[in-house]
Amino acid sequence: KNEVEQSPQNLTAQEGEFITINCSYSVGISALHWLQQHPGGGIVSLFMLSSGKKKHGRLIATINIQEKHSSLHITASHPRDSAVYICAVRSSGTDKLIFGTGTRLQVFP
Amino acid sequence: DAGVIQSPRHEVTEMGQEVTLRCKPISGHDYLFWYRQTMMRGLELLIYFNNNVPIDDSGMPEDRFSAKMPNASFSTLKIQPSEPRDSAVYFCASRAPGLAGGDTQYFGPGTRLTVL
């Protein structure tokens, strides 16, 4: 079993829909990251969370440390949100990131 | 700031050849990470450095892979000899020091390696 699991693996949506991507992990962590990888391949960090909730524009990330679960929400989705979203955790006591396998999101106009 | 710079962006080589990938981290960052991304396994950490010193190389697949960081502004990942299963996108990322720098890693554009 992977230490970081994401669901769903693939997601399609119509423009304007509310999107949720889930991430569960099985190790102790000091932080959780959400990354975005566009079709061109570049990887950008969206959020780093150690507790609670963060919001940036139409993106919201939450984490529940007790349940070892995080969600990434996209409100009013747009075709430009089409990308692979990757959850990664930083194991406690290390600087290493462990990655989920990613969620491929396609938003159609 | 130019961000993390990687070269080459694309590399096609034949099995058995030596391949060298290069990375220039963001100035002032003291952590440097090398990752490999494949369709089958996703993103995997190969090795990371702190202040030019290798800290964890447990992800390096085998002795054919080696990485160096001779100074704060340059790192190399070398594969010798290369094999077709090494075909992947290799990313370099850097991170600022300490708690003040946060935990965010800044990724380079990647090197797409194809070994024929």
Confidence category of residue B47, pLDDT binned at 50, 70, 90 = very high
Contacts with B41 (C-beta within 8 Å, 6 or more apart), sequence order: none
Whether the pLDDT of residue B105 is over 80: the answer is: yes
**DSSP labels, chain A:** --SEEEE-SEEEEETT--EEEEEEE-S-EEEEEEEEE-TT--EEEEEEESSEEEEETTEEEEEETTTTEEEEEESS--GGG-EEEEEEEEETTS--EEE---EEEEEE-
Nearest to B23 by CA among B86, B92, B101, B88: B92
Q: Which residues of B79-112 are buried (b: 16+ CB within 10 A; e: fewer)?
A: beebeeebbbbbbbbbbbeeeeeebbbbbbbbbb
Contacts of A99 in chain B (CB under 8 A): 42-44
- Report whether the peptide linkage leading into residue B25 is cis, meaning its omega lies within 30 degrees of zero: no
Q: Is A90 on the interface with B (CB under 8 A)?
A: yes
Q: Is A4 on the interface with B (CB under 8 A)?
A: no
Angle at CA of residue A24, ends A51 and B4, nearest 5°: 70
pLDDT of residue B103: 77
pLDDT of residue B69: 97
Q: Is B65 on the interface with A (CB under 8 A)?
A: no
Starting at the earlier edge strand, list the strands of the sheet with A4-7.
A4-7, A19-25, A69-74, A59-64, A52-56
Mean pLDDT over B34-39 rounds to 94
A44 vs B43: CB contact, 8 Å cut-off?
A: no
**DSSP class of residue B85?**
G
pLDDT of residue B97: 78
Mean pLDDT over B6-29 rounds to 96
The predicted-structure confidence for B49-82, as pLDDT tens digits, reads as follows 999 999 999 999 889 999 999 999 999 999 999 9
Give the residue on B whose Cα is nearest the Cα of A40: B109
The tally of CA atoms less than 13 A away on the side-chain side of residue A12 is 2
Q: Give the other-Cβ count within 10 Å of A23's Cβ.
A: 25
For testing the chain A interface, which of B34, B41, B45 should be mutated: the one with the most A CBs within 10 Å?
A: B45
pLDDT of residue B62: 84
Whether the pLDDT of residue A70 is over 90: the answer is: yes
The predicted-structure confidence for A71-108, as pLDDT tens digits, reads as follows 999 999 999 999 999 999 998 888 889 999 999 999 99
Contacts of A42 in chain B (CB under 8 A): 107, 109-110
B48 vs A100: CB contact, 8 Å cut-off?
A: no
For testing the chain A interface, which of B43, B45, B107 should be mutated: the one with the most A CBs within 10 Å?
A: B43
For testing the chain B interface, which of A36, A46, A95 should be mutated: the one with the most B CBs within 10 Å?
A: A95
First-to-final CA distance of chain B: 36
